[in-house]
């Protein structure tokens, strides 16, 4: 009789552990919400990384907005949307009803082009 009670207790314990694991891992994780500081950090990291790789200067001098957009889509989280322009004072396509973070990153000239270029990044959350 004691052996049967121990077996029953072990089965109940295993079911409790299994039930807890299923409950914890079966529900989808909530999407990250970004505050303005986190958005700015993510944007700066992508700008700095692109600059360190030489991509930011390359795309700015070539005025290749599609190439840099593809890079930033891979670098930034999917819950952030952005607009990136290479100019001193540009109009950006940004939503009116969102909190928008703007960043200005100056790219030094190189080789035959000594004029610095401004990279203006605008970030906002999709949620």
CB atoms closer than 10 angstroms to residue 95: 12
Question: For residue 53, is pLDDT > 80?
Answer: yes
**CB-CB contact of 87 with 120 (8 Å):** yes
pLDDT digits over 69-101, tens only?
888 888 888 888 888 888 766 666 777 777 888
Going from the C-alpha of 30 to that of each of 20, 27, 78, 81, 97, the distances in angstroms are 19, 9, 13, 18, 23
pLDDT digits over 18-31, tens only?
988 888 887 776 65
Number of domains in the chain: 1
- Tell me if 11 is assigned to some domain: no
Question: For residue 16, is pLDDT > 90?
Answer: yes
Domain range for 80 is 36-125
Question: What mean pLDDT value characterizes the chain?
Answer: 82
- The dihedral built from the CA positions of residue 46, 49, 53 and 59, taken in this order, carries a sign that is positive
**pLDDT > 70 fraction of the chain, expressed in percent and rounded:** 87
**Quick one: pLDDT at residue 13?**
93
**What is the model's pTM?**
0.64
- Tell me if 108 is assigned to some domain: yes
**Quick one: pLDDT at residue 29?**
64
- Tell me if 7 is assigned to some domain: no
- Tell me if 107 is assigned to some domain: yes
């Amino acid at each position: 009789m004691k052996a049967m009670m121990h077996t029953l207790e072990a089965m109940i314990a295993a079911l409790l552990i299994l039930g807890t694991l299923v409950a914890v891992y079966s529900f989808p994780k909530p999407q990250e919400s970004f505050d303005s500081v986190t958005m700015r950090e993510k944007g700066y990291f992508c700008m700095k990384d692109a600059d360190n790789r030489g991509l930011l200067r390359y795309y700015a001098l070539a005025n290749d907005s599609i190439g840099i957009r593809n890079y930033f889509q891979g670098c930034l989280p999917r819950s952030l949307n952005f607009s990136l322009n290479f100019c001193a004072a540009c109009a950006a396509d940004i939503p009116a009803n969102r909190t928008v973070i703007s960043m200005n990153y100056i790219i030094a000239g190189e080789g035959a082009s000594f004029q610095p270029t401004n990279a203006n990044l605008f970030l906002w959350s999709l949620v």
